[in-house]
Structure 1
Amino acid sequence: MKRSLGYIKAFVLVAVICFLYGFAEKRHKSRGISEVKVRFTDNENLYVTEEVVNKLLIQNKASVSGIDKETLDLNRVESLLNKHDMIENAEVYLTLDGKLRAEVSQRKPIGRVIGSSSFYLDRKGKVMPLSPFYSARVPLMLGFNEANISKVYPIVKHIRNDEFLTRHITGINRLKGDKYELELRELDFNVYFGDSSNVALKFNNFKAFYKKAQKDKKLDTYKKVNLQFGDQVVCTKK
């Protein structure tokens, strides 16, 4: 009898604990979100504002009041953020004290196409729309559209990843036959690059030429520099 009574007491105790846990869990979920906070990686919010992200986080409602944790669909909100034209990646989560957090990485433009159709080329080689909030300082690109932009991507990417080239190259012009010409900062000669083959070799040759011509104080004596042959730099003097 005593053993049966002990089992009953244990059962009742477990039942009470389960009830209290379930009640607390339900109450926890039903609590509203106390705070929304957005953090941009690299501390940049250039192309999309915190206000825009907040609106997506709260599922297009005017405020977080009235939205409880159980109602909020984190996967859906994260998906909304990742579909935004200016966002590369977003992670959304809730803290234990009821705060909604979002870690947002913005897309990074590496070139800007100007003309009848204007847009950015991002660091992954994809078309990125211009932002109403910020204009990136990247090489200007003439003669491009969404159909042919992918062919020049290896060149633009190499420029972006090289400090010397980023500092000196300000523009890329597309010529017939998917050949390219580069414009330089503060110099009146253009660089004929040719097609997008042997990118690293051509740029290494150009950097070697530039530094030698600068040392010899001859940069102003050229009107054209040709890199298309890959293994050499052919220069035309004024």
Structure 2
Amino acid sequence: MKFFKWSNIRLVLMFALVIFLFSFASIRNEHRKLIRTEVIFPPNEALFISRETVNKLLIENNSDVKSIAKVELNLKKLEKTINNQPMVEKAQVFVSVDGVLKVKVKQKTPVARVFDQYSSFYIDNKGDKMPLSDLNTARVPLLSGAIQTVKKEQLRNVLNAIYRDDFLKKNIIGVQVLPDQSFLMKNRNFNFDIDFGVAVNIDNKFKNYKAFFQKVVLDSTLYKYKKINLRYTQQVVCTK
């Protein structure tokens, strides 16, 4: 009978009241209308998909976000819809405490551009196709040749190595895949070809190229070369 002391009863009632208030607040919050949407991109990033486009996907078939209640939202469905957009790598959709429907968008990163007889598109840093954008044009190397002969991973690794390095990104404007799966590259300011070879020892080959270039760029030697051979990882072979 000691259990039914007033202090115990009061504790149970307080606990029940807390549960009731929490449930009431949750139900009321779920039925609150949204006040607006907010599309968030990483700062200082060139946009390949507009905020307006993402906004339309967020409000689905509703013309006004204020007509949507929180309870009506399917956040996973919205995320899936936005992630299916060819410009988007990953999206995170959530509702803030004050009723703002937000989406954080990570765009795909173009690392090369392909021209063929039918269309033009980008290759992103995952090695997948990415459509061109009406908003911005990425300054990336032109990719050509027997692209289908080389493995996706190898192509991705070569292109990403160029994209991540400020010197290579400014220096190399063209990448051609040859039938033997080797790579031939073009320099922005000089007429020589860069015979890169196949996609092995990528970092070492580019390291050798950068060291060679920085050593001879101060004189006129570079203008005399027709080919810079990087196939041999221990040396750079030049042909006039």
Q: TM-score, normalised by structure 1?
A: 0.86
Distance 1:147 1:187 in 2: 28
Matches within 5 A, 1:21-32: 22-32=23-33
Is the CA contact (8 Å cut-off) linking 1:47 and 1:86 kept in structure 2? Answer: yes
Q: How far apart are residue 42 of structure 1 and its match?
A: 3.1
**1:82-97 aligned within 5 A:** 82-97=83-98
* Distance in 1 (alpha carbons) for counterparts of 2:120 and 2:94: 35
How far did 1:125 drift?
2.2
User: What residue in structure 2 maps to residue 215 of structure 1?
Assistant: 218
Residues 112-151 of structure 1 correspond to what in structure 2 (within 5 A)? 112-116=113-117, 117-145=119-147, 148=150, 150=152, 151=154
**Cα pair 2:146 2:178 within 8 Å, conserved:** no
Whole-angstrom distance in 2 between the partners of 1:209 and 1:154: 22
C-alpha offsets along residues 205-231 of structure 1, whole Å, 9 cap, x if unaligned? 211221222134311111221111222
Once superposed, which parts of structure 1, at least 4 consecutive aligned residues long, lie more than 6 Å away? 3-17
1:161 to 160, 164, 167: 164
Task: Determine the C-alpha separation between the residues in 1 that align with 2:178 and 2:8.
Answer: 87
Overall identity of the aligned pairs, in %: 38
CA distance 1:148–1:132, shift in 2 (3 Å): farther
CA separation of 1:14 and 1:221: change in aligned 2, threshold 3 A:
closer
User: Normalised by the size of structure 2, how large is the TM-score?
Assistant: 0.86
Q: Please give the alpha-carbon distance, in whole angstroms, between the structure 2 residues aligned to 1:154 and 1:11.
A: 63
RMSD: 2.6
Alignment coverage as a number of residue pairs: 235
1:216–1:64 distance in 2 versus 1, CA, 3 Å: same
> Whole-Å Cα distance in 2 between the matches of residues 13 and 232 of structure 1?
79
Q: Which one is further off, 166-175 or 24-33?
A: 24-33
Which blocks of at least 5 consecutive residues in structure 1 are unaligned? none
Q: CA deviation at 1:58?
A: 1.4
Task: Read off the aligned partner of 1:94 and give its amino acid letter.
Answer: V
> Which secondary structure state, in structure 1, belongs to the residue aligned with residue 72 of structure 2?
coil
Q: Given that residues 45 and 106 in structure 1 are in contact (C-alpha distance below 8 angstroms), is that contact kept between their aligned partners in structure 2?
A: no
Task: Specify the alignment match of 1:236 in structure 2.
Answer: 239
The letter of the residue matching 2:127 is G
Of the structure 1 ranges 11-20 and 185-194, higher mean CA displacement relative to structure 2 is found in 11-20
